[in-house]
């Protein structure tokens, strides 16, 4: 039974709001921070006797030392009190467990989304197994221990039975795990290692992809259970589930490479990635994002939107127009993060190199350096869009609303977003007036256009600022603290990936993402076939006849 009631205060700082979950020996509460107004935390209460003290402290010390995007941060620890209860204070992850997501999908999880989550877990397992001085074996990977936050990032929680790997140990002190997901060696007295976690990853994927069956009872190949699944994906899961650890993938990085080879895109082995153009055209929806003037935040908004859409669908592509001064490659720290052999879609080969993909988002920045760029006409664009294989394509056009190429792209789009910020004097420029006139024409012609207010601050003139647009803003994005932007820059990451900022942006964009997504669609957009591909195809045919 939960020991703390709503309103109870821990250590004079954390006030309990409600119970989030109850386990065998633990309770997790949602708590308000009385010092940092508006901040909320998850507080894990663990009940134990004196013999558990070492294990509880070890878990806390282990978590405090860890730092990864797919792990919650631990901010406080209180050792056992007189009643035998200790408390961990950690990030509150607003979202759902992978098990809850699976149930919401009607127990028919989309294969590409399962693979996307598995790829994120491979990144985390690589960090736990090889990215530290002392490897950590998690030992309890299962859908109920994986959270999905508002940005579509998975977070691994509950390190209660994780252990540090000791190469000179023949067996674990305790053989613990969840039947159905734990590796066979966890119940045979043998030592667990990184390959034990990889088995659990395979068991979890098997469960999600088979409609809820456990491999340890079914004992059938995933391909046998679900013939419609891609053969390469089934082969990867089967290898993860080998009885003998020596026959499994030997590292999370190796498993990740196998899953990446399956996922749709250039070089992928999934037959769907070689589908006919008419089949490929059924899913992608094109959204153009542009600014009314320089500095309003078209690129910032495009990235925020792509992350919100990827969280709901498992996939999104972001493409940057090459006009003006491209900046997406630099903002993404492409020199460090782009895959080896990467080429830009604006190059002569049309971006035929490896796809740059992270957390379900495929990035297509324009080449940042100056120089002559090939024209990005309809046929070239058509080939590129076919290759993307994503439910959504977000195109960042900067301030280029008026060029013939931009107009053609906007004509093909399912929606256009016009971004503005509180620096209202910029609206008085002739260029901004021309863009507003163009946007009004688009609206009159029936094109769905949404105004996005960016960098919103709490000022007395806020309502007057928002009233300057011809229509109310569909979304109002919060101003991001400049210190957080600088800190993210020095850390070589996007400020959008900071959990608190990610949650705020996803919430601000929800009026639009709720229009375009449905929770029961299995990660597919709710609107009908994209008309842009047939229009483009018709233009190409007419131009050749």
pLDDT band at 29 (very low <50, low <70, confident <90, very high): very high
pLDDT band at 342 (very low <50, low <70, confident <90, very high): confident
Q: From the CB of residue 232, how many other CB atoms can be counted at a distance below 10 Å?
A: 16
Question: What is the arrangement of strands in the sheet containing 95-97, beginning at the earlier edge strand?
Answer: 95-97, 146-149, 154-156
Evaluate whether 292 touches 301 at the Cβ level (below 8 Å): no
Q: What is the mean pLDDT of residues 359-369?
A: 86
Distance CA(75)–CA(281), nearest Å, equals: 47
Dig out the tokens for 435 from the structure: 């863009």
Distance CA(523)–CA(364), nearest Å, equals: 22
Q: Domain 284-544, what architecture?
A: 3-Layer(aba) Sandwich (3.40)
pLDDT at 377: 57
Which residues share a beta bridge with 286? 393
pLDDT at 65: 77
The yes-or-no verdict on residue 274 having pLDDT over 70 is no
The residue written with tokens 């046998």 in the block is 224
Which residues share a beta bridge with 15? 9, 32
Exposure string over 113-145, b if 16+ CB within 10 A, otherwise e: bbbbbbbbbbbbbbbbbebeeebbbbbbbbbbb
Q: What are the angstrom distances between the C-alpha of 356 and each of 284, 318, 360, 391, 444?
A: 18, 11, 10, 17, 38
The yes-or-no verdict on residue 300 having pLDDT over 70 is yes
Q: What is the mean pLDDT of residues 482-489?
A: 89
pLDDT at 313: 66
- The listed range with the strongest mean pLDDT (74-88, 159-173, 406-420, 518-532) is 406-420
pLDDT at 279: 34
Dig out the tokens for 188 from the structure: 């045979």
DSSP 138: -
Dig out the tokens for 42 from the structure: 């998850």
Sign of CA dihedral 32, 37, 41, 45: negative
Distance CA(44)–CA(64), nearest Å, equals: 14
Distance CA(449)–CA(176), nearest Å, equals: 55
**415-420 and 285-291 beta bridge pairing:** parallel
pLDDT band at 99 (very low <50, low <70, confident <90, very high): very high
What phi and psi values does residue 441 have, to the nearest 5 degrees?
-65, -40
Distance CA(520)–CA(106), nearest Å, equals: 8
**14-22 and 9-10 beta bridge pairing:** antiparallel
pLDDT at 273: 36
Distance CA(167)–CA(189), nearest Å, equals: 15
User: Which percentage of the chain shows pLDDT scores above 90?
Assistant: 32
Distance CA(474)–CA(20), nearest Å, equals: 32
The residue written with tokens 């088979």 in the block is 210
pLDDT at 517: 74
pLDDT band at 52 (very low <50, low <70, confident <90, very high): low
Distance CA(33)–CA(39), nearest Å, equals: 5
Point out the least confidently predicted range of 12-16, 477-481, 513-517. 513-517
Q: What is the mean pLDDT of residues 506-535?
A: 59
Rounded mean pLDDT of the chain?
A: 80
Evaluate whether 255 touches 194 at the Cβ level (below 8 Å): no
pLDDT band at 114 (very low <50, low <70, confident <90, very high): very high
Q: From the CB of residue 367, how many other CB atoms can be counted at a distance below 10 Å?
A: 17
Residues annotated as part of the active site: 140
Q: What is the mean pLDDT of residues 76-90?
A: 86
The yes-or-no verdict on residue 270 having pLDDT over 60 is no
Residues of the chain with CATH 3.40.50.300: 284-544
Residues of the chain with CATH 1.10.510.10: 96-274
The CATH class of 96-274 is mainly alpha
Q: What is the mean pLDDT of residues 371-381?
A: 55
Point out the least confidently predicted range of 374-388, 434-448, 458-472, 509-523. 374-388
pLDDT at 533: 40
pLDDT at 382: 61
Q: Is 45 helix (H, G, I), strand (E, B) or coil?
A: strand
Q: What is the mean pLDDT of residues 254-274?
A: 61
Q: What is the mean pLDDT of residues 277-283?
A: 36
Question: 0.85 cut: is pTM over it?
Answer: no
pLDDT at 242: 93
CATH homologous superfamily of 9-91: Phosphorylase Kinase; domain 1 (3.30.200.20)
- The listed range with the strongest mean pLDDT (143-152, 273-282, 418-427) is 418-427
Q: Is 238 helix (H, G, I), strand (E, B) or coil?
A: helix
How far apart, in Å, do the first and last CA atoms of the chain sit? 76
pLDDT at 491: 86
Distance CA(338)–CA(98), nearest Å, equals: 29
| Residues in Cβ contact with 453 at an 8 Å cutoff, skipping those fewer than 6 apart | 420, 421, 465, 466, 469, 473, 475, 476, 477
**392-398 and 316-320 beta bridge pairing:** parallel
């Amino acid at each position: 039974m939960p020991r703390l009631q709503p309103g109870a205060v821990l250590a004079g700082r954390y006030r309990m709001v409600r119970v989030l979950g109850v386990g065998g020996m633990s309770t997790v509460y949602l708590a308000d921070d009385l010092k940092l107004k508006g901040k909320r935390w998850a507080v894990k209460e663990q009940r134990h006797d004196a013999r558990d003290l070492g294990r509880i402290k070890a878990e806390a010390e282990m978590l405090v030392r860890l730092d990864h995007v797919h792990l919650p941060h631990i901010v406080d620890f209180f050792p056992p009190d007189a009643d035998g209860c200790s408390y961990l204070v950690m990030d509150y992850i607003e979202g759902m467990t992978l098990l809850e997501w699976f149930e919401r999908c009607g127990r028919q999880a989309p294969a590409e989304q399962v693979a996307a989550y598995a790829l994120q877990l491979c990144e985390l397992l690589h960090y736990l197994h090889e990215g530290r001085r002392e490897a950590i074996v998690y030992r309890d990977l299962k859908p109920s221990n994986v959270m999905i936050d508002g940005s579509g990032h998975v977070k691994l929680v509950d390190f209660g039975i994780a252990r540090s790997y000791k190469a000179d140990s023949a067996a674990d002190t305790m053989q613990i795990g969840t039947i159905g997901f734990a590796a066979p060696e966890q119940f045979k007295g043998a030592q667990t290692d990184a390959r034990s976690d990889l088995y659990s990853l395979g068991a979890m994927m098997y469960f999600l992809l088979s409609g809820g069956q456990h491999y340890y009872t079914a004992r059938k190949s995933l391909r046998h259970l679900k013939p419609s699944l891609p053969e390469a994906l089934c082969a990867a899961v089967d290898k993860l589930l080998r009885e003998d650890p020596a026959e499994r993938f030997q590292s999370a990085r190796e498993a990740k490479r196998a899953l990446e080879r399956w996922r749709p895109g250039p070089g992928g082995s999934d037959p769907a990635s070689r589908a006919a153009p008419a089949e490929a055209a059924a899913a992608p929806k094109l959204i153009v994002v542009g600014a009314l003037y320089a500095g309003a935040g078209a690129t910032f908004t495009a990235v925020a939107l792509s992350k919100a859409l990827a969280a709901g669908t498992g996939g999104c592509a972001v493409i940057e127009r090459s006009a003006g001064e491209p900046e997406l490659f630099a903002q993404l720290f492409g020199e460090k993060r782009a895959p080896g052999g990467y080429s830009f879609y604006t190059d002569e080969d049309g971006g035929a190199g490896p796809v740059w993909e992270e957390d379900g988002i495929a990035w297509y920045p324009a080449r940042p350096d100056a120089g002559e760029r090939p024209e990005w006409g309809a046929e070239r664009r058509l080939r590129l869009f076919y290759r993307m294989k994503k439910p959504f394509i977000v195109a960042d056009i900067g301030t280029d609303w008026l060029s013939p190429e931009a107009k053609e792209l906007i004509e093909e789009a399912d929606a256009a977003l016009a971004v503005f910020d509180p620096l209202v004097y910029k609206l008085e420029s002739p260029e901004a007036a021309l863009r507003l006139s163009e946007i009004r024409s688009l609206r009159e012609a029936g094109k769905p256009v949404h105004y996005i207010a960016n960098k919103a601050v709490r000022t007395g003139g806020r309502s007057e600022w928002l009233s300057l647009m011809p229509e109310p803003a569909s979304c109002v994005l919060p101003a991001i603290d400049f210190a957080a932007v600088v800190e993210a820059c020095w850390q070589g990451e996007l400020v959008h990936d900071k959990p608190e900022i990610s949650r705020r942006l996803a919430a601000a964009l929800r009026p639009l993402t709720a229009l375009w997504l449905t929770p029961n669609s299995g990660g597919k957009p709710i609107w009908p076939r994209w008309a842009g591909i047939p229009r483009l195809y018709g233009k190409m045919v007419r131009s050749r006849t």
